[in-house]
């Protein structure tokens, strides 16, 4: 049962409100002065306060009520307070509403309106308390995870990301391949770092390979190494591959979905036996490597299309972790943005609202670049929305507008990167091949 504290020096008012609330399932506590009200709050749990604004005969200024309101807010900032007065002062009402008063009603009151307001505020207050309790419980769990595992500086608040992180720490010591899925720029590499840092081979090498950035004809040489003269431009020295470099540690294969079918066959063999040959050599080599792979592609669709081997998929997908897009974990936006600040800047309230409203198609990478840009361009210590350079949302259903917005985003990224494709692609959260395709589509040049 919820408890309402009624504060009024008029006994008739207290009796009327006591009867009204009691008939509708509410427990009431009564106080006839500000001092009594504060004493009741010290001794009892209260869910809502209904208070008068004047407590002395012939007093209509409301000063006593203002003092009581502020004293209660100081003690319990989230406790809802309804103000009642026979002498309505609009300026005072506006001031106290800005300071957090839940409502300001005149005497005589309308029973139905008052009851509706009370019940709505009690539901809201209960929901706020429950959210705070759940948030506190989540913080306890997250502190335990952060204390027990190396999270490699990862910043997050969302439940979705916590599930991914928790699973990553649980599978870290298992000697099995892990497949990390999710959009570009969402943080797949950071999850791979966490797995490696908490694995049994954490002291071994951690080799990162962006498969999508390697020309198809050189993938075998990059992954498995090459003998002198094995291909045009190979040079006259043997070249160890990434698997050899990762021996005794972890190999992270990013953008795995771009690997050719020929490369997939060789990768499957290494995963099954640990054996391979360098390009141009018949000597079989053996390594012990933990493979973590990542992709933003739908590998099941690629299997159906015949561009990805089903046996390789199941070999890599012993454990699958999904990193959600930033747009689906809004609780992470502001903590991440604040972590990206340079120490000399902060966000205005308007800038924080703009950050929360933006859809972040480029995910965490786009957010990081926007914050870095804002720190450079901000005229003062406080970052404003214009400093972030965020695209305005395109109205739903306007395909032409969406295409124009996409074109502007690509052109801006190219300008910011001075035409360097690799840098522009990172800002947009795209592979270089995907950026080239969009440039061709929009008729843009580097």
User: pLDDT tens digits for the chain (446 residues)?
Assistant: 889 999 998 899 999 999 999 999 999 999 999 999 999 999 999 999 999 888 876 666 778 888 999 999 998 888 999 988 776 566 777 788 888 888 888 888 888 888 988 988 898 888 888 877 877 777 788 888 888 999 999 999 998 999 999 999 999 999 899 999 999 999 999 999 999 999 999 999 999 999 988 888 888 889 998 888 777 666 778 889 999 999 999 999 999 999 989 889 989 999 999 999 988 888 999 999 999 999 999 999 999 999 999 999 999 999 999 999 999 999 999 999 999 999 999 999 999 999 999 999 999 999 999 999 999 999 999 999 999 988 754 433 434 444 444 777 788 878 777 676 767 776 776 767 677 778 878 888 76
> C-alpha dihedral over 360, 366, 368, 372, to 10 degrees?
-120
The token pair that represents 33 in the structure block: 């002065």
C-alpha distances out from residue 209 to 103, 291, 323, 347, Å = 60, 11, 19, 36
**Whole-angstrom distance, CA of residue 191 vs CA of residue 427:** 20
Closest CA to 6 of 57, 68, 61, 59: 68
Looking at residue 395, its pLDDT comes to: 39
C-alpha distances out from residue 212 to 25, 136, 290, 294, 426, Å = 65, 42, 20, 11, 13
Q: Can the peptide bond before residue 108 be classed as cis, meaning omega within 30 degrees of 0?
A: yes
Looking at residue 238, its pLDDT comes to: 86
Which residue's entry shows tokens 């300071």? 99
**Whole-angstrom distance, CA of residue 292 vs CA of residue 189:** 10
Task: Write b or e for each residue in 297-336: b if 16 or more Cβ atoms lie within 10 A of its Cβ, otherwise e.
Answer: eebeebbeeebbbeebbebbbebebebbbbeebebbbeeb
The token pair that represents 64 in the structure block: 């006593």
Looking at residue 134, its pLDDT comes to: 78
Do 96 and 18 meet the contact criterion of CB atoms below 8 Å apart?
no
Looking at residue 88, its pLDDT comes to: 59
Which residue's entry shows tokens 């649980």? 170
CATH class given for the domain over 150-322: alpha beta
Residues forming beta bridges with residue 105, ordered by sequence position: 84
Looking at residue 431, its pLDDT comes to: 67
CATH architecture of 328-442: Orthogonal Bundle (1.10)
**Domains in the chain: boundaries:** 3-128, 150-322, 328-442
**Whole-angstrom distance, CA of residue 172 vs CA of residue 191:** 10
The token pair that represents 339 in the structure block: 């972590």
Superfamily of chain region 3-128: Response regulator (3.40.50.2300)
Fold match between 3-128 and 150-322?
yes
Q: Which residues fall within 8 angstroms of residue 54, CB to CB, at 6 or more apart?
A: 9, 60, 61, 62, 64, 65, 85, 86, 87
Angle at 141 between CA 138 and CA 142, to 5 degrees: 85
**Whole-angstrom distance, CA of residue 268 vs CA of residue 313:** 9
pTM: 0.65
């Amino acid at each position: 049962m919820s408890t309402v504290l009624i504060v009024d020096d008029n006994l008739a008012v207290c009796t009327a409100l006591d009867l009204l609330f009691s008939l509708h399932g509410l427990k009431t506590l009564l106080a006839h002065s500000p001092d009594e009200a504060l004493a009741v709050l010290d001794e009892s749990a209260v869910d809502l306060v209904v208070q008068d604004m004047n407590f002395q005969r012939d007093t209509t200024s409301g000063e006593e009520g203002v003092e009581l309101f502020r004293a209660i807010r100081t003690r319990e900032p989230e406790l809802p307070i309804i103000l009642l007065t026979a002498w309505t002062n609009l300026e005072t009402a506006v001031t106290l509403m800005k300071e957090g008063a839940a409502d300001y009603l005149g005497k005589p009151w309308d029973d139905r309106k008052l009851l509706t307001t009370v019940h709505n505020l009690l539901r809201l207050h209960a929901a706020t308390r429950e959210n705070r309790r759940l948030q506190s419980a989540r913080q306890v769990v997250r502190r335990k995870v952060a204390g027990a595992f190396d999270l490699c500086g990862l910043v997050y608040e969302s439940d979705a990301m916590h599930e991914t992180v928790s699973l990553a720490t649980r599978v870290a010591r298992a000697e099995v391949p892990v497949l990390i899925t999710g959009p570009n720029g969402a943080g797949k590499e950071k999850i791979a770092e966490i797995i490696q840092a908490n694995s049994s081979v954490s002291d071994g090498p951690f080799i990162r390979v962006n498969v999508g950035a390697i020309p198809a004809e050189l993938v075998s040489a990059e992954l498995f190494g090459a003998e002198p003269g094995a291909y045009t431009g190979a040079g006259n020295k043997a070249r160890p591959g990434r698997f050899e470099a990762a021996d005794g540690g972890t190999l992270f294969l990013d953008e795995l979905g771009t690997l050719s079918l020929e490369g997939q066959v060789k990768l499957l063999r290494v995963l099954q036996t640990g054996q391979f040959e360098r390009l141009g050599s018949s000597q079989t080599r053996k390594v012990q490597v933990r493979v973590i792979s990542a992709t933003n592609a739908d590998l099941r669709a690629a299997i159906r299309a015949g561009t990805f081997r089903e046996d390789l998929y199941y070999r890599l997908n012993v454990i699958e972790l999904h990193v959600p897009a930033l747009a689906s974990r809004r609780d992470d936006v502001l903590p991440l943005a604040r972590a990206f600040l340079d120490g000399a800047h902060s966000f205005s309230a308007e800038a924080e609202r703009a950050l929360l409203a933006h859809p972040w198609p480029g995910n965490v990478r786009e957010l990081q670049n926007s914050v870095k840009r804002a720190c450079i361009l901000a005229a003062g210590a406080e970052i404003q929305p214009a400093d972030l350079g965020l695209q305005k949302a395109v109205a739903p259903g306007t395909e032409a507008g969406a295409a124009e917005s996409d074109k502007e985003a690509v052109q801006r990224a190219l300008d910011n990167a001075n035409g360097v494709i690799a840098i522009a692609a990172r800002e947009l959260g795209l592979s270089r091949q995907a950026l080239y395709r969009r440039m061709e589509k929009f008729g843009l040049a580097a």
